[in-house]
Amino acid sequence: MEHRSIGSLRVSVAGLGCNNFGMRIDAAATERVVSAALDAGINFFDTADIYGETRSEEFLGRTLAGRRHRAIVATKFGMAVDEQRKGARPEYVRQACDDSLRRLGTDHIDLYQLHQPDPEVPIADTLGAMDGLVKAGKVREIGCSNFSAEQLDEAARASKPGAARFVSVQNEYSLLHREPERSVLPACERLGLAFLPFFPLASGLLTGKYQPGKPAPADSRLSLSWTSRFTTDKNVQVAEALKAFATARHHTLLELAFSWLASRPQVVSVIAGATSPEQVMANAAAVNWSLTKEDFAEIDRLVVSG
């Protein structure tokens, strides 16, 4: 498995998103998924305090007990756990970190990410609190999520010399959602930030399992009501065209979705969720297609014409 850098961290190019833990799968299934990921060479695990109503961190920490040294653990704070636990005020940043450390059963978080901008708190104040966590040894690197290019620039300007600064940004990016290419990816190049795409499989539409005109499989993410935004007529049409493109080249749509993202210069790790060991192994193997310039041109044509 290839490894790439997020600041001082070296992470596998295929990562594991942990938002299913405690929501769609229980502790025992989480253990099987995490073990399969480690066996497949995945060392990057991305969770958040809100996932599974805090159970994701608990299940991940329990599963990594005794093998924490094999994992790079990323988690997030800032979205509402409840009415009291939310936002990016310095005092809450410290509380949220301690809460996550306890749930994860670890003495440090490798990558601690602000889950979304907090318009009520100056970013300099949040960065100061996060720098304090790094200096205290509780956090190794800091990052952000759901930030615009303008907000990334603002955070860069607010970072003090010698203090911890954002080394990564995690935003939605896939073959079907290419908005980051307009300004966020150029900002990453300009600021030296690693980019981490979430929803790389468009919540399951790019796995190749979805069949147009038929309901999504009952146990799939696409069967959840909030995922309906992914299955628009245009997205389904483009996904089918991309599936045919991949099949003609003896690859799967899943391999195309992963390898296309992994080929982007700023993308460091493609983090996708999984609910079974089989899904983990398929994801880990899906980053090995070396696309050509002609492939990229045809993919762009298919996405635009769709």
Domain spans in the chain, listed from the N-terminal domain onward? 3-204+252-290
Q: Which residue in the list 51, 92, 112, 210 is annotated as catalytic?
A: 51
CB distance 89 to 123 below 8 Å: no
Task: For 3-204+252-290, give the CATH class.
Answer: alpha beta
Q: What is the mean pLDDT of the segment spanning 102-123?
A: 98
First to last CA, the chain: 33
| pLDDT for residue 304 | 84
Sign of CA dihedral 42, 48, 54, 58: positive
Active site residue 51: yes
* The amino acid at 15: G
| pLDDT for residue 203 | 86
Res. 213 pLDDT band, cuts 50 70 90: low
At 164, is the secondary structure helix, strand, or coil?
A: coil
The proportion of the chain whose per-residue pLDDT surpasses 90, expressed as a percent, equals 90
The pTM of the full predicted model, rounded to 2 decimals, is 0.93
CB atoms within 10 A of CB 24: 15
Q: What is the mean pLDDT of the segment spanning 189-194?
A: 98
Which residue has better confidence, 231 or 68?
A: 68
Q: What is the mean pLDDT of the segment spanning 25-52?
A: 98
Q: What is the mean pLDDT of the segment spanning 102-110?
A: 98
Q: What is the mean pLDDT of the segment spanning 8-32?
A: 97
